[in-house]
Amino acid sequence: MRIFKLPDLGEGLQEAEIVNWHVKAGDTIAADQPLLSVETAKAIVEIPSPFGGQIAKLFAQPGDIVHLGAPLVGFEGAGASDDAGTVVGAVKVGTQVVNEGVARVGAAGLAGGHGIKATPAVRALARKLSVDLSMVTPSGHDGVITATDVQRVATTLADVGAPDVIRGVRRAMAQNMARAQSEVAAATVMDDADLHAWQTTGRSSAGHDITIRLVRALVAGVRAEPVLNAWYEGRTGRRHLLERIDVGIAADLPEGLFVPVLRNVGKRDAADLRAGLDRMRADIVARTIAPEEMRGNTITLSNFGMIAGRYAAPIVVPPTVAILGAGRIRDEVVASGGVPAVHRVMPLSLTFDHRVVTGGEAARFLRAVIEDLERPE
């Protein structure tokens, strides 16, 4: 049997979830015809057949999570051989399928369960009832989990039914957020931008392209304090100051959080930026966005105020060191020329990695952002 394994789908993508097969056992397929579709943390990817032949066996089913290098499909044939012709990456021969269960993320998962206080009998009960002890609130003396605690959680879980297994984009989000929380020394500064000057252009704030104005203001912030446009290697202590500004723009979809990257924003005009952002969002909705368009950002923007919320403490995801959040624009009474006046105000929140960015640098960055936003055009 000739075995085709999950190939390299791109830098950093070590696993994929089987979405659907385009063939079944017994089918005959030609080289380069669609073989299966998989979902990665970035997008849905269609994998072509590396060669022609008859399908002997499918090693994984829709919904299975398969690691890089795990067998996908066996082709009829007496000899096993490597395939060097696949267009999506290097392929090796193997015999073991890897089906991964739910990944443990967060403090308890990272610590391997250390710090959880429970007797061997209670731990055995938890295993019997399929209860993760990290979910249990202890009621015993000195934070010890009791059998009653475990049974209470088991009853609650039974009432709500079978859990959803977090996969694809949401699984990647959970892993990235846990990593960020464990690595980054996060600090946040907040302030408001007074948008009253926009009225002088004959347009209200609603008449402006808010996201693109924020991108322009972020560029002004980077020019004032370039240290926020950087990557930091926490393990080695090395910082890389980056000249080009590639902005990751958080996009909220039912499937989870996507962060497409607008490239070289400091060298592009507003119309070009808007066209690029619209194209990427359309590709995200269709799940056809290329993985390379979802990585490599140097700084991040979250315009969560389009939904709700004033201030936040957005999460910095390594290796970047800063994220700017924009809250909901609102009318507010402010002092103008010594008298009260109603102005449109945008709340801003800047989270930065305090390991490599000082409070003064962050504040000067935010001041430059505000000054740019408060310009009429």
d(CA 304, CA 198): 21
Q: Helix, strand, or coil here: 328?
A: coil
Q: Domains in the chain and their CATH numbers? A: 2-75 (2.40.50.100), 107-160 (4.10.320.10), 169-373 (3.30.559.10)
Q: Among 324, 316, 356, 314, which residue's Cα sits nearest to residue 227?
A: 356
Residue 32 pLDDT:
86
Closest to 214 in 3D by CA, of 343, 359, 347:
347
Q: Among all chains, which residue has been given the structure tokens 């690595």?
A: 183
- The per-residue pLDDT string of the chain (377 residues; one tens digit each, 9 = 90 and over) reads 889 998 877 655 678 888 889 999 999 999 889 999 888 765 778 889 988 899 999 999 988 888 888 999 999 864 445 443 343 433 333 333 333 333 333 333 333 344 788 888 899 999 999 899 988 988 888 888 999 999 999 998 888 877 777 777 777 777 778 888 888 899 999 999 999 998 766 565 666 889 999 999 999 999 999 999 999 998 888 999 999 999 999 888 777 778 889 999 999 999 999 999 999 989 888 888 887 888 889 999 999 988 899 999 999 999 999 999 999 999 999 998 899 999 999 999 999 999 999 999 999 999 999 999 999 87
The letter for the amino acid at 182 is S
66/7 Cα distance (integer angstroms) = 11
Q: Inter-axis angle of helices 359-373 and 210-224, to 10 degrees?
A: 140
What pLDDT does 40 receive? 74
Backbone angles phi, psi at 110, to 5 degrees: -65, -30
Rounded to whole angstroms, the maximal C-alpha distance in the chain is: 89
Cβ-Cβ contacts under 8 Å for 62 (sequence gap 6 or more): 18, 19, 20, 21
